[in-house]
Chain A
Amino acid sequence: MTDRRTPPRRRPNSNPVNDAVNKMSIRSRTPSLFRPRQPIGQHGLTDNRSLVDDINRRGVLRGAVSLGALTLLTGCDVSEDEPVQKALRAVSSWNDRVQAAIFRPNHLARTFRPSQVVKPPRFNAYYDIEDVKPIDGATWTLELAGRIEDKRPWTAQQIYQVAEQEIIIRHICVEGWDYIGQWSGPNLRNFFERVGADMTAKYVYFICADDYTESIDMATALHPQTILATKYAGDVLADPFGYPLRLRTSTKLGYKNAKWIKAIEVTNDFRETFWSKQGFNWFAGI
C-alpha cells in the first residue's frame, strides 16, 4: 500500500536528549512525597534475632494449621477457587468486549488548564519509587516489531525530534485516585503512519524496561488523545514517570499507560499482560 511508504527519517542536528540527560543529572532526586523521611528502624528485629527465629520455627506448623482453619471458617476467599476464578475472568473478558463496543473513537476526554496541573505527577508502579531503575537516554533505543513496515529502531534523539502534541488530561488509577497531568510527545497515530504500522491490526503491545508489559486495542491507539509522552509539564520526563518514553492515553486507566517503553509491537495476537495475568481487566477503558 502506497500510503504506508515511510518518509525518510530526518537526522537531527541538535541534540535535545543530551541536553535532557544533562538536565536530569543535575536535578536532585524527585521531591520526596512518596519517600519516608526516616528509614524504618530494624533494631527491634536485629536485637532479638534468636527469639524471632525460635518463634518462627515453633509457630510455623501451628500457624499453617490455624490459617487453614480460619480460611474454612471465614470462607476466606472463594474468588481464588479455580471454577469461580474462571467464571469471573470469563465475565471480565465479556466486559472487554462490551467496552470495545461502547468505545467512541473520536470522543475527546475533557482537557484542563495548565494551572490545574499537579507537579510532580503521582507515582504509580508495581513497586516503590525507590526501586525505579533509571534509563540511560544516550544508549536507549525504541525497538519496533510485528506488523510495521519500517522496523528500524529509534534513538531518544530521534523520538525527541518528532513534532509534539500536548494534552492536559485526568489520570485515573484503578485504585480510585486521580490527578490532572500535562503530557507531551509524538501522537501515536502519526507515529504509526510514519513507520508504516498496520492500523487494521488488533493490538499494540508495549514492552517496558522493568519487565512490565501492557497492550491496548488499536482503536485506543489511534484515538486523537493517545501519545508517546516524552515530557511532563514542559520538562523532559523524570525517571519515575517513564523517561525516556511512555504511553499516555486519555481513555484508559493508569496501569494501561506503559512507562519506560523499550519496544512496540503491532499484532493480531492477544497475549495477557502484566496486570491482566493477575486478574485485572484487560481493556480497562474509562
Chain B
Amino acid sequence: MAPPPQPSAQRQHRLHPLPLRVMHWINAVAIFIMIGSGWKIYNDDVIFGVLHFPDSVVIGKWAQYGLQWHFFGMWIFVINGIAYLSYGIVTGRFRRKLFPISVREIFVTVGDALRFHLSHDDLTHYNAVQKILYLGVMLAGIVIVISGLSLWKPVQFSELANLFGNFQTIRLVHFLCMAAIVGFILIHISLALLVPQSLVAMLSGGPVVDDGPPHTAPAPTEFESSQ
C-alpha cells in the first residue's frame, strides 16, 4: 500500500529556491555593469552641473567602452529581470512575501527602525518597510527599462518615449530610477551585512519554509536552532 500523500510536502522548499538565488546574483552582476557604465555615459553630458562620477567608479575608460558595456549589460538585466518577475508571479512568491501590506504595520516598522528595535530573527517574514522597498525597487527596475528603451530608440519606440515628454526628461527619469536603485542597494547591502544570515541564505538557500496559510508560525529552522 502506498504511503498516504503528504500535501504539505509539495509546499515545503528553501526560503530562497535555487532559481531565485541564481537570478538574484545574475541581477547583481547586471546592475553593477549597468550602473558603472551608465555613470560613464552620464559623465559625457552631465544633467546636474555639480555631479560628475569619478573615473575610479565608472566602467569603461573611454565613452565607447561605457556604451559597449551598457548595451551588453542591458540584455542580461532585461532577460534576467523578465525571468525573475515571471517567476515571482507564477510561483506566488510575490503574493506570499510582499502582500498584504498593512498601513498600520508601516508606521510600527518605521517607528521600530528609528528606535533601532527592528527584529531580523525571522528571515522568512518581510516587514512592511521591506515589502515596500522590494516593490519599489522592482517598480524602479521596470521604469528604468522603459525609460532606457525610450532613450535608446526615441524614434522607433516613439510610443514609449512620448510617455515622458522631451528627450532630456527621459534622461532625468532614467537617472532618478538609477538613484532610487542605488539608494535601495545601499540599504540592502547594509542590512545584509548587519544580518549576515540573510546573506548566507541568499547563497545557500536558507531555512526550509512551508507555504502553508500565511502568518502561521514558521517551522523551527537551522538558523533559529543555532542561535
Mark A residues whose CB is within 8 Å of B. 74, 76-77, 79-80, 87-89, 91-92, 95, 99, 102-104, 107, 109-110, 170, 172-178, 250-251, 275, 278-281, 285-286
Residues 37-82 of B contacting A (Cβ, < 8 Å): 41-42, 44-45, 56, 59-65, 67-69, 71-72, 75
Q: Contacts A79-B60, A88-B69; is A176 near B44 (CB within 8 Å)?
A: yes
Given the known interface contacts A77-B65, A176-B41, A279-B64, the answer about A286 and B71 at a Cβ–Cβ threshold of 8 Å is no
Q: How far is the CB of A110 from chain B (nearest CB, A)?
A: 7
Number of B interface residues at 8 Å Cβ cutoff, please give it.
Answer: 28
Give the complex CA separation of A278 and B71 in angstroms: 16
Give the CA-CA distance A47 to B95 in the complex, in Å. 73
How far is the CB of B116 from the nearest CB of chain A, in Å?
36
Best-surrounded residue of A74, A79, A107 (most CB of chain B within 10 A): A79
Q: How many Å lie between the Cα of A76 and that of B60 in the bound state?
A: 9
B156 adjacent to chain A (CB < 8 Å): yes
Are B156 and A79 closer than 8 Å at their CB atoms? no
Considering the complex, which residues of chain B in the window 147-196 have a beta carbon less than 8 Å from any beta carbon of chain A? 152-156, 158, 166-168, 171
Query: Out of A74, A76, A89, A107, which one reaches B68, CB within 8 Å?
Result: A89
A-B contact pairs, 11 of them (CB 8 A): A79-B59, A79-B65, A89-B68, A91-B68, A95-B71, A109-B158, A178-B168, A278-B64, A279-B64, A279-B65, A286-B152
Asked if A173 contacts B45 (CB within 8 A), the reply is yes
SS class, residues of chain B in contact with chain A: helix
Q: With the chains together, A178 CA to B172 CA distance in Å?
A: 13
Whether A102 contacts B156 by the Cβ 8 Å rule is yes
- Which among A80, A99, A170, A175 is the interface contact of B63 at CB below 8 angstroms? A175
User: In the complex, A77 Cα to B59 Cα: how many Å?
Assistant: 7
**B167–A178 CB distance below 8 A:** yes
Q: How far is the CA of A172 from the CA of B154 in the complex (A)?
A: 10
18 more contacts with CB within 8 A, not counting A87-B72, A92-B68, A109-B158, are A79-B65, A88-B72, A89-B68, A102-B156, A172-B167, A173-B45, A175-B44, A176-B45, A177-B45, A178-B167, A275-B64, A278-B64, A280-B63, A280-B67, A281-B68, A285-B153, A286-B154, A286-B155
User: In the complex, how many angstroms separate the beta carbon of B109 from the nearest chain A beta carbon?
Assistant: 39
Dominant secondary structure of chain A at its interface with chain B: loop
A-B residue pairs, 3 tightest by C-beta:
A176-B45, A279-B64, A79-B65
A107 contacts B72, C-beta separation under 8 Å:
no
In the bound complex, how far is the Cα of B154 from the Cα of A107, in angstroms? 12
Q: How long is the Cα–Cα vector from A89 to B67 in the complex, in angstroms?
A: 11
**Closest residue of chain A to B65, judged by CB?**
A79
**Given known contacts A91-B68, A281-B71, is B60 in contact with A74 (CB within 8 Å)?**
no
List residues of chain B with CB within 8 A of the CB of A109: 155, 158
B27 to chain A, nearest CB (A): 18
Instruction: Name the A residues within 8 Å of B60 (CB-CB).
Output: 77, 79
A107 contacts B71, CB within 8 Å?
Answer: no
Contact A91 B155 (CB under 8 A): no
B167 touches A170 (CB 8 A): yes
Given contacts A74-B56, A176-B171, contact A250 B155 (CB under 8 A): yes
User: How many angstroms from the CA of A99 to the CA of B156 in the assembled complex?
Assistant: 9
Smallest Cβ-Cβ distance to A87: which chain B residue: B72
Q: How far is the CA of A176 from the CA of B68 in the complex (A)?
A: 15
User: With A91-B71, A170-B167, A281-B71 in contact, is A175–B45 under 8 Å at CB?
Assistant: yes
Chain A residue nearest to B168 in the complex (CB): A178
- Given known contacts A178-B167, A178-B168, A280-B67, A285 and B156 CB-to-CB distance under 8 angstroms: yes
Task: Check A79 against B41 for contact (C-beta < 8 Å).
Answer: no
Please give the distance in Å from B22's CB to the nearest CB on chain A. Answer: 21
Given A79-B60, A176-B45, A177-B45: A104 in contact with B156 (beta carbons within 8 A) = yes
Bound complex: CA of A99 vs CA of B153, how far in Å? 9
User: Which B residues are in CB contact (< 8 Å) with A251?
Assistant: 155-156
In the complex, A89→B64 CA distance in Å?
Answer: 10
With a CB–CB cut-off of 8 A, which chain A residues contact B152?
A: 286
Of A76, A102, A176, A280, most B-chain CB atoms within 10 Å:
A176
Hey, which chain B residues are within 8 Å of A250, CB to CB?
155
- Distance in Å from the Cβ of B108 to the closest Cβ of chain A? 44
Question: Are B63 and A286 neighbours in the complex by a CB distance under 8 Å?
Answer: no
- Kindly report which residue of chain B lies nearest to residue A95, judged by CB atoms: B71
Nearest residue, chain B, Cβ from A79 = B65
Query: Which chain A residues border B171 with CB–CB below 8 Å?
Result: 176
Min CB gap B74→A, angstroms: 9
Q: How far is the CA of A109 from the CA of B154 in the complex (A)?
A: 8
